Amino acid sequence: MRNTSRLGIFWCYRERLYAASVPLNEARHYGDFRNGPFDHYSLWPRLQRRHAHLRSFAYEDIPRGRVLYSVRDDRFLVYADRILMKEHLKTLILAEFELPPAKSFFRCDEHYTADFDERERLLREDE
């Protein structure tokens, strides 16, 4: 079976993911890990050009995360803002990156914690 899983970065704004990823077999090697070539800071201006509703935010204002692969453990690691640890958002992330649920583990990481005080509001569609 061909592995279609992808690695990279994402933001979640109003229940929608904005992601940049590469197939697992094209990812960069970092010791025991594989990682996509993208970083949030560099990619944010391109994302803002495509999505006008994001232009008033800095990249760290929106809840975000990263998907890595552990070669040693043969599993995917999703590091993200703790607010993204809701089951429906995890399902969205798994689908976007085509990750096998049984081999995917979610971890809160303060590095990806949004500085924006009202980040819960940023996830909801109705505002």
Report which of residues 101 and 120 the model is more confident about.
101
Q: What are phi and psi of 30, to 5 degrees?
A: -135, 85
Say which residues have a Cβ less than 8 Å from residue 92's Cβ, sequence separation at least 6.
12, 15, 17
pLDDT in tens, 77-98: 999 998 899 999 999 999 999 9
pLDDT value of residue 111: 72
Which is higher by pLDDT, 119 or 40?
A: 40
State the pTM of this model.
0.86
State yes or no: pLDDT of 14 exceeds 80. yes
Please tell me the distance from the alpha carbon of residue 33 to that of residue 47, in angstroms, as a whole number: 26
CA distance 90 to 23: 19
